[in-house]
Amino acid sequence: MAWYEAGQRWSDRRSWLPGYVRDARFDADSATRLEILRKARYFERNNGFVNRLADLFEEYTVGPEGLRMVPVSSNEEWNKKAAEWWAGWCRFPDVSTLMPFGTVQSLMARSWFIDGEIFLIKTRGRERQDQASYPRIELIEGHRVESNPSFAADDYYQDGIEIDTNGRPKGYWVRRGLTTDTVHSLYPADQVLHLFEPSRPGQLRGISMLYPVMNDLHDLDDLSMLEMDAAKDAAATTNIIKTKTGEVSFDDLRRARFAGQGTKANSGGSDNVRTEYYNDVFKGRAKVMRHGDDFDQFVSSRPSVATQAYWEYLLSKVCCGVGISKLLVMPYSMQGTVTRADLDVAATFFRSRSAVMSAVVREIYVYVMGWATNNVRELSDPPFDWAKVEARPPRSVNVDVGRNSQALISEYVAGWRTLEEICGELGRDYREVLRQRGQERKLARQIEEEMGLTPGELINAALEAIKTQQQQQIQQQQVQPKEAA
């Protein structure tokens, strides 16, 4: 018959799949979102595997020092001053902590991965006498953005967000204070930054990135605990003695031992004599049992090979569901070409997440530098495109640093890449790199003149040594596959 099997609602060959076709706000309502959030935070606290995933997401999305913001307006001199002032502001960006902006970005990335979202409020620092207070940001966890309970259900209030007739957010309700003394404050949308990545149109709140594999994590957790209980039970059970009337328990053995104290005939007699005889004959420890008794050495075979294979399957499934390569989570040997392909996919995944993070960080930059152009003397005459800035992601995942470095050099020579792009991926400012290289070459010329060396000899010797070392490494890599074959 000309139909789609998947379009048939009922089938006696498969189980029924629960679900309805409706808007995202009904599928991911407040209760569903908070329950997923509760489970995600539990696994982040108690599951090392989830913690590792969060660490990797944090590491390759923002990097060790956060996304680097590079001013790229039409005035290069102003860019230099803006970069210096921005670096100073990044020392204490958060109104409630002393964390630098790199650490704040790491916290943002981690909350995004575990909670599915995080909110940032544009605010100001403490009041200063006769001076404007500095711009600051405040991090708000997702569970604190909720609908005001004093309001009745309304289509213009969805899960803590006030929207207009087009469905665009107008304001956010934030719960302040303790559980027993709370106040809900409304912040306009232009004062709030919402870091999340919707998976459907009309989705206003973020959901933990663990949501498609939450039950798999739960199954893996339960299975691990049950196998551990079985292992502990096996460790407590050593040997089993069987008689004609059944197995001998520990209490039976203890009762027989105490009952035989003081009566050598009952506790030993001919059995002890025969035991000593066999010990002497076999030159080892021997135990003689009564006629009809049986002795078994208890051996545990858990977890079985099938169980271990199922663990690996669940771990792979979790990695696939989250989007992070299993090779990064639990490194293992794999063919070189396949490894590079796998890590290239991983690098694309993290760059995509970095793009979402960059949009939020760029908004923070515009907010802060907008204040600076009006209140900082050195930046008081900005160019018309002062808000133009580039957010540089951290260094990508790679398996062969040497190969990637050669590729970057080739792309730079061909003009497909700029020095600013390459330095940005390394978390460096290309201006600082060029200035440092100029200082090194100047110092090298001075030393060459003092030592009577040929101009350029000092640096060229270092470059030749590096080149020789690289060639030796390449030769070793070519020899190793042949030896393995």
pLDDT tens-digit readout, 210-231: 999 999 999 999 998 988 888 8
Contacts of 379 (CB under 8 A, 6+ apart): 78, 81, 82, 85, 369, 372, 373
**Encoded tokens for 465:** 């040594």
> What value does the mean pLDDT take over residues 44-61?
94
Task: Provide the pLDDT for residue 292.
Answer: 64
* Residue bearing the bigger pLDDT, 300 or 262: 300
Average predicted confidence (pLDDT) for the chain = 82
Domain-located, residue 407: no
Domain-located, residue 432: no
Residue pair 95/123 in contact by the 8 Å Cβ criterion: yes
> What value does the mean pLDDT take over residues 274-294?
59
* Residue bearing the bigger pLDDT, 61 or 250: 61
Do 181 and 156 share a structural domain? yes
Domain end (from 352, 378, 393): 393
* Residue bearing the bigger pLDDT, 344 or 479: 344
User: Whole-angstrom Cα distance, residue 148 to residue 17?
Assistant: 35
CA Rg, the chain, in Å? 34
Domain-located, residue 85: yes
**Cα–Cα distances in angstroms (integers) from residue 83 to residues 58, 135, 160, in the given order:** 24, 16, 37
Report the percent of the chain where pLDDT is more than 70.
Answer: 79
Task: Provide the pLDDT for residue 270.
Answer: 55
Model confidence at 280, pLDDT cuts 50, 70, 90, reads: low
> What value does the mean pLDDT take over residues 104-125?
95
In degrees, rounded to 5, the angle at the alpha carbon of residue 135 between the alpha carbons of residues 132 and 137 is 150
Domain end (from 360, 393, 426): 393
- Main-chain dihedrals φ then ψ at residue 161, nearest 5 degrees: -120, 130
Residue pair 47/213 in contact by the 8 Å Cβ criterion: no
Task: Provide the pLDDT for residue 268.
Answer: 43
> What value does the mean pLDDT take over residues 106-130?
92
Do 370 and 245 share a structural domain? no
Quick check: 262 pLDDT over 50?
Answer: no
> What value does the mean pLDDT take over residues 23-52?
93
pTM attached to this predicted model: 0.75
| Tokens 């760059």 found at | 351
Counting the structural domains of the chain, the total is 2
Instruction: Label the pairing between strands 182-188 and 157-158.
Output: unpaired
Do 194 and 56 share a structural domain? yes
Closest to 168 (Cα-Cα) out of 138, 201, 196, 195 = 201
Task: Provide the pLDDT for residue 83.
Answer: 92
Do 89 and 32 share a structural domain? yes
Report the percent of the chain where pLDDT is more than 90.
Answer: 38
User: Whole-angstrom Cα distance, residue 322 to residue 327?
Assistant: 13
Task: Provide the pLDDT for residue 266.
Answer: 39
Model confidence at 269, pLDDT cuts 50, 70, 90, reads: very low
Task: Provide the pLDDT for residue 247.
Answer: 53
Do 294 and 358 share a structural domain? no
User: Whole-angstrom Cα distance, residue 365 to residue 375?
Assistant: 15
Model confidence at 112, pLDDT cuts 50, 70, 90, reads: very high
**Cα–Cα distances in angstroms (integers) from residue 349 to residues 104, 127, 421, in the given order:** 22, 42, 19
Out of 155-164, 295-304, 317-326, 375-384, which region has the weakest mean confidence (pLDDT)?
Answer: 295-304
**Encoded tokens for 462:** 């270092």
Phi-psi region of 370 (alpha: psi -120 to 50; beta: other; left: phi over 0): alpha
Do 165 and 38 share a structural domain? yes
Task: Provide the pLDDT for residue 99.
Answer: 93
Do 167 and 50 share a structural domain? yes
Closest to 91 (Cα-Cα) out of 136, 58, 147 = 136
What DSSP line would sit under 188-226, residue for residue?
A: EGGGEEEE---SSTT--S---TTGGGHHHHHHHHHHHHH
User: CA end-to-end span of the chain, whole Å?
Assistant: 54
Domain end (from 263, 289, 306): 306
User: Whole-angstrom Cα distance, residue 178 to residue 375?
Assistant: 36
Task: Provide the pLDDT for residue 170.
Answer: 93
- How far is Cα of residue 375 from the mean position of the Cα atoms in its chain? 39
Domain-located, residue 193: yes
Model confidence at 286, pLDDT cuts 50, 70, 90, reads: low
Do 231 and 187 share a structural domain? no
Task: Provide the pLDDT for residue 485.
Answer: 47
Phi-psi region of 241 (alpha: psi -120 to 50; beta: other; left: phi over 0): beta
- Predicted confidence (pLDDT) per residue in 292-312, tens digit: 666 666 667 778 888 888 889
Do 175 and 136 share a structural domain? yes
**Encoded tokens for 477:** 């890599």
> What value does the mean pLDDT take over residues 158-165?
89
Closest to 220 (Cα-Cα) out of 293, 147, 317, 298 = 317
Composition of the chain by helix, strand, coil, percent to 5: 55, 15, 35
Do 271 and 151 share a structural domain? no
Model confidence at 120, pLDDT cuts 50, 70, 90, reads: very high
Domain-located, residue 468: no
Closest to 192 (Cα-Cα) out of 149, 142, 249, 157 = 142
Model confidence at 484, pLDDT cuts 50, 70, 90, reads: very low
Closest to 422 (Cα-Cα) out of 387, 388, 396 = 396
Model confidence at 267, pLDDT cuts 50, 70, 90, reads: very low
Task: Provide the pLDDT for residue 287.
Answer: 59
Task: Provide the pLDDT for residue 477.
Answer: 57
* Residue bearing the bigger pLDDT, 383 or 438: 383
Domain-located, residue 433: no
Domain-located, residue 153: yes
> What value does the mean pLDDT take over residues 140-152?
83
Quick check: 32 pLDDT over 70?
Answer: yes
Domain-located, residue 470: no
Structural domain span for residue 299: 221-306
Model confidence at 479, pLDDT cuts 50, 70, 90, reads: low
Do 295 and 159 share a structural domain? no
Quick check: 61 pLDDT over 50?
Answer: yes
User: Whole-angstrom Cα distance, residue 276 to residue 286?
Assistant: 8
Quick check: 281 pLDDT over 70?
Answer: no
